[in-house]
Structure formats: C-alpha cells, structure tokens
C-alpha cells in the first residue's frame, strides 16, 4: 500500500472516531432515573376511637338499714344511651372512658317492705378502664379490661313514708369484657359487659326518724352499639 493511501485511511479512521466520541460520552453521563416506589396501601389508624351504645343497667337489689334486722332494699333496672371514648397506646393497650346517666327507684324489702317506694335518684357513673385488645382474630377483636368508677348521685327525691333521701357519691371497681366486629377500616359493631362494684351509703328520714344504711347496687352494664375508629 502506498504512503498516500495509508495516510488517507488513517485520517478517515481518526475522523470517524472523533464523530462517535461525543455520543459515547453523552451516553456514559446520562443520569439514571430511579423507579418510583409504590405507596403503602395501609393507612395508620388514629389512636382515638368512639362508641355509642344502648346500655342496660341491671342492679343487684341488695342493701340494708342500720339497726333494723331483716331490712333490705331494691333498686330498679333501666336502659340508657351511653357514649365512650378510647385512646390506643399501641395495638393492644387502650384506655376507655364511658359517660352516661341513668336513674334508679329505691324500694324497701324484707322487714321494711311495707314502706314501698322510698325514693328516686339519678346516677352519673363515669368509669375509666385499662384494656387489653387481642389482635389475632381478623375482624373480630375481643378485649378485657379493669378500672375504677366514681358515681355521682343527683336529683334525689324521697317518696311515700320517706321525707328525705341522700345517697352518697362513691368510688368502686370495674371489670369489663367485650368485642368489636369491624365492618371496614373505621366502622364496627360492639358488644360490651361491665360489672361495677358500687355500694354507696345513704341517709334518709322515714316516719320522722333519721336512718342510715348501705345500698349494694353492684350493677351489670350490658351494652351494644356501634364503633368508629378515627
């Protein structure tokens, strides 16, 4: 091959390489686009929950008047609306506060049955419980709880032979069992049973005489309603 042809071939190769180099460099420097990450389909719950229940209050129907042998008392049952609020510290532990008011008629029994209806009082029994929620049953979410109750007696009125009635406010313990059945992420159905240990002292004026005693109410609170988890 002549020297002239060799030079021409070398020049052509160099020209071709100089044209291809910018394209190779651009390809090498192109930024790598990261694939978008899929969003999680799970939305975390708020720690707050509210329930609205219809509540049956079933009392123990026991009590006594000091100094009167065989005396006993009867307290009427009732049905009332009840609202509660729960705060979840984690998936298993929650605190619940229930709010509601009801009334009770007090009758003499046993040796004082002849007194009939002694009076009537309204009760406001706010109850705070600490609960453990089981989370291994899907939509069915049972729980147990224990706590404290403080009952306020108000709008008290004496009846019949009694001319005065004063039932004292009191503290008591509370035990609880229930479950939620969740229909979706927020709404559910609830069944709840509580046992309150409630034994207030009372003063009364009956036939002109001042008497004292203790009413052993110890009611069962049996409720059913709806749950909303925020």
CB 123 within 8 A of CB 103: yes
- DSSP character string of 1-64: --HHHHHHHHHHHHHHHHHHHHHHHHHHHPPPPPPPPPPPSPPPPPSEEEEEEEEEEE---EEE
Least confident residue range of 36-45, 89-98, 197-206: 36-45
Rg (Cα) of the chain, in Å, rounded? 38
Q: How much is the pLDDT for 100? A: 92
Mean pLDDT of the chain: 87
Mean pLDDT of all residues in 158-175: 94
Per-residue pLDDT at 212 exceeds 70: yes
Domain residue spans in the chain? 48-229
Which pLDDT band holds residue 207 (cuts at 50, 70, 90)?
confident
Mean pLDDT of all residues in 202-214: 91
Q: How much is the pLDDT for 10? A: 58
Per-residue pLDDT at 182 exceeds 70: yes
Per-residue pLDDT at 170 exceeds 90: yes
Rounded Cα gap, residues 202 and 1, in angstroms:
128
Q: Which of the following CATH numbers is that of domain 48-229: 2.40.160.20, 3.50.50.60, 3.40.190.10, 3.10.580.10?
A: 2.40.160.20
- DSSP character string of 59-121: ---EEEETT-TTEEEEE--EEEEEEEEEEESSSSEEEEEEE--EEEEEEEEETTGGG-EEEEE
CB 159 within 8 A of CB 226: no
Per-residue pLDDT at 47 exceeds 70: yes
Q: What is the pLDDT of residues 3-40, one digit of tens each?
A: 556 556 555 555 555 554 454 444 455 555 555 554 44
Q: How much is the pLDDT for 38? A: 45
């Amino acid at each position: 091959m002549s020297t002239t042809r060799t030079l021409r071939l070398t020049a052509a190769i160099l020209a071709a390489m100089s044209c291809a180099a910018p394209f190779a460099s651009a390809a090498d420097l192109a930024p790598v686009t990261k694939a978008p990450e899929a969003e999680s389909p799970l939305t975390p719950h708020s720690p707050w929950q509210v329930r609205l229940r219809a509540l049956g209050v079933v009392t123990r129907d026991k009590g006594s008047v000091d100094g009167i042998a065989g005396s006993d008392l009867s307290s009427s049952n009732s049905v009332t609306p009840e609202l509660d609020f729960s705060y979840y510290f984690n998936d298993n532990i929650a605190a619940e506060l229930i709010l509601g008011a009801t009334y009770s008629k007090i009758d003499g029994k046993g040796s004082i049955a002849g007194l009939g209806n002694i009076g009537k009082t309204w009760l406001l029994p706010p109850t705070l419980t600490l609960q453990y929620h089981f989370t291994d049953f899907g939509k069915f979410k049972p729980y147990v709880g224990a706590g404290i109750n403080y009952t306020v007696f108000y709008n008290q009125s004496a009846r019949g032979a009694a001319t005065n009635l004063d039932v004292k406010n009191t503290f008591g313990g509370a035990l609880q069992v229930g479950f939620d059945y969740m229909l979706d992420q927020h709404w559910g159905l609830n069944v709840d049973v509580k046992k309150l240990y409630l034994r207030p002292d009372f003063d009364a004026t009956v036939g002109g005489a001042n008497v004292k005693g203790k009413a052993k109410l110890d009611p069962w609170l049996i409720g059913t309603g709806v749950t909303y988890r925020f």
